[in-house]
Amino acid sequence: MAQYEICIVSAGDRAVAKKITEALMNEQLAACVSAIEGMKSIFRWKGKMEEADEVLLIIKTRASLREEVMQCVKKNHNYEIPEILFIPVEGSREYLDWIGANTRFSMAEPEKQEDSSDSEDKTEN
């Protein structure tokens, strides 16, 4: 299982997108949220074809924070059923480490065991 994920959320306007982004960032549930404005969505809703201008949020997070991210988005979204999709990601180790360093740990996430040889003080004589 990938340790990191991208979460995709569509918001109906800038204000909702900003509210979701600020909540995720304040709670350290995302290392970064990219907002893409000008997205046009065509979808079926309650038996009818609908069309809407939306803002697409691309949320970079830890897989272990999935539930907390979902709850935060739902709490701050104005849609009855918001789009919340998770995609496992692999990428450059440096970028993934940056995501890890800028999101909080979850109680669901197992802590990495330190190699005893790495935990010793290594000084040159």
Listed by start position, the domains of the chain span 4-106
Query: Are residues 20 and 11 in contact, defined by beta-carbon separation less than 8 angstroms?
Result: yes
Mean pLDDT of 3-9: 97
- For the chain, the average pLDDT equals 88
Query: Are residues 25 and 111 in contact, defined by beta-carbon separation less than 8 angstroms?
Result: no
Residue 105's pLDDT band, with cuts at 50, 70 and 90, is: confident
**Burial grade of 102 (CB within 10 A; 0-12, 13-18, 19 or more):** middle
CA dihedral 113, 115, 119, 123 (to 10 degrees): -160
Mean pLDDT of 92-105: 94
Mean pLDDT of 101-125: 54
Considering the segment(s) 4-106 as one domain, its CATH architecture is 2-Layer Sandwich (3.30)
**pLDDT score, position 108:** 56
